[in-house]
Structure 1
Amino acid sequence: MSSDRIVSLVPSVTDALDRFGVADRVVGVTTYCTHGAPDAAVRVGGTKNPDVQRIIALRPDLVVTNTEENRPEDIQRLRDAGLTVEETYPRTVADAAKMTRRLGELVDATAVAADLADAVDAAIEAARAAAPSTRVMALTLVWRKPWMGLGPGTYASDLLWTCGFGNVLSGYEADYPRLEAGLAFGADVALLPSEPYAFEDKDLDPVRELAGDVATRFVDGELLTWHGPRTADGLRTFSALAVELAAELPG
């Protein structure tokens, strides 16, 4: 399939397209596409509020979207305009490998994409093999004011599970449940990502007010949530962290 003009409404996809070697074909990106976007690409707004008419005016052969990142009404408007829209939604690290291969097919970069996907598959197997026998129970926070955590059924939760973490919010139905202070989470560690909310030292005391006297670790949010070429690095990073934390657990 020939896609000479591509619009990416997903930061991790923009990063992937650059790694595929096709960034020169990307004509439109969001304001949050901080890696791999060519200087000439038009910024078409945020992931939640893209300028649909501006995207249409770019006459793209392919628009890549994400079910979680982008609003369904915006995706439908793009389709109604006659554009070819690829809607991604990996929920597991295995899905990320499949998505990488699929994107490669769409932009004539099958060989490079296959290599990147193979690296993800290999990292999955390595992480599973290295996972500690006792899971490290993690409370992974994603937002403050209101407090929100990483629920089950999400890509990031699956990545952590693959590496040997347990999710203390696995009983929630929501992907990103709102949390209240004083709940008995039973976590061994609170993971504090750099995005979507950028946790810093100033947040440590409020985190302990929320979750009690629990160990904390600042982690790279991109390695945790950006599915695609960063998945393999994410698996290696969080696998090493799980092994490190497991060694510190009592007993």
Structure 2
Amino acid sequence: MRVVSLVPSLTEAVAVTLPGVLAGATDWCSHPADLDVTRVGGTKNPKTDRIIALAPDLVIANEEENRAPDLDALRAAGVEVLVTEVRDVPGAFRELDRVLTACGARSRPRWLDEAEAAWADPPAPERRRTAVVPVWRRPWMVLGRDTFAGDVLARLGVDHAYAHHADRYPRIPLDELVAARPDLVVLPDEPYRFTSDDGPEAFPGLPCALVSGRHLTWYGPSLAEAPRVLGAALRAAAR
């Protein structure tokens, strides 16, 4: 079996479950750290000719992270493409099962069982809080409706302010974000790399939680530790 992954979290899931199966991955596929495969460009601009030259049995993709024209080009070249759709934590587990089975797994990996157990009983929050969750700046973009990261936060006691917005990732002016007066601002380090010097200064007087984007937005082995890691970061920021 030869697989090319166009989704960083799925790359990690396949690599740790089925060593040797991956033939290619995107430039953004950073885990496992020692992953040694052909790099095929970005998630939004993969080099389809390079993927086709690898002669994969399967390309795994995601409806949000990858562009339909690129996936259509691969299909037109005779490449089988599996496209995932992940909007919440239960959906992540279903899609991971589907992907790993399609890649040749004969049994469920232990890390997936551990991840489901972790999310079956996540750390209980002291109280529910509201948050603004930027994912980009210049322009400012935040979590909107129907997102995996939004569901992750909700299960940890954090309701984001734009959960019912018409868009999934709306562009909201900074003054409106500040005026919303959330209990918390959650700043992940991807896709935009918010840091202590780049992000919190835009929200004076509001507690800011700098969190791992891998634990907030990835659906793979990191799911097993995400409730603990994110829960600790959110509690620390609220103190």
Q: So what's the TM-score if we normalise by structure 1? A: 0.87
Change (3 A) 1:201 1:134: closer
Distance 1:38 1:134 in 2: 40
Mapped partners of 1:76, 1:27: distance in 2 = 20
> What displacement does 1:119 show?
1.9
Instruction: Give runs of aligned pairs for residues 147-162 of structure 1, distance below 5 A.
Output: 147-162=140-155
Partner of 2:107: 111
Q: Assess if the C-alpha contact under 8 Å between 1:6 and 1:61 holds in 2.
A: yes
Tell me the amino acid that sits aligned with residue 228 of structure 1.
G
Matched to 2:26, the amino acid is T
1:144 alignment partner, one of 137, 143, 158: 137
Deviation at 1:161, TM superposition (A): 0.4
Structure-to-structure mapping, 1:158-177, within 5 angstroms: 158-177=151-170
Query: What is the match of residue 31 of structure 2?
Result: 35
**Aligned pairs, number:** 237
Shift, 1:125, TM fit? 1.7
- Which stretch of the first structure deviates more once superposed, 198-207 or 135-144? 198-207
Q: Distance in 2 between matches of 1:121 and 1:163?
A: 15
* Matched residue, 1:230: 222
Q: Distance in 1 between matches of 2:3 and 2:17?
A: 13
- Per the alignment, residue 55 of structure 2 pairs with 59
CA–CA distance in 2 between the matches of 1:34 and 1:135? Answer: 33
- Please give the per-residue CA displacement for 1:118-138, whole angstroms capped at 9, x wherever unaligned: 2222112211xx433631111
In 2: Cα distance, 1:39 partner to 1:242 partner: 31
Query: For each residue in 1:174-230, what CA deviation from the matched residue of structure 2 results, as whole angstroms up to 9, or x when unmatched?
Result: 11111112222231111111111111232246422xxx5211111111110111221
CA 165–110 in structure 1, closer or farther in 2 if over 3 Å, else same: farther
Partner of 1:194: 189
Q: Distance in 1 between matches of 2:58 and 2:106?
A: 16
SS of residue matched to 2:121: helix
SS at match of 1:203: coil
Partner of 2:17 in structure 1?
Answer: 20
Cross-structure match for 1:88: 84
Residue ranges of structure 2 left out of the alignment (5+ in a row): none
Q: Distance in 1 between matches of 2:96 and 2:76?
A: 26
For the residue of structure 1 that corresponds to 2:51, the secondary structure is: helix
Question: How much is the aligned-residue C-alpha RMSD, in angstroms?
Answer: 1.9
Q: Tell me the distance in 2 between the aligned counterparts of 1:187 and 1:234.
A: 23
Q: Distance in 1 between matches of 2:94 and 2:111?
A: 10
The answer to whether the aligner puts 1:48 opposite 2:26 as a matched pair is no
Distance 1:56 1:77, change over 3 A: same
What amino acid is the match of 2:145?
P
C-alpha offsets along residues 47-86 of structure 1, whole Å, 9 cap, x if unaligned? 1111112211111001001111110111111112211111
TM-score by length of 2: 0.91
Identical counterparts, % of pairs: 38
Q: Does 1:123 align with 2:118?
A: yes
* Structure 2 residue identity aligned to 1:97: F
1:21-42 per-position Cα deviation (integer Å, ceiling 9, x unaligned): 32x1211111111113766521
Q: Please give the secondary structure, in 1, of the residue aligned with 2:135.
A: strand
Report SS of the residue matched to 2:130.
strand
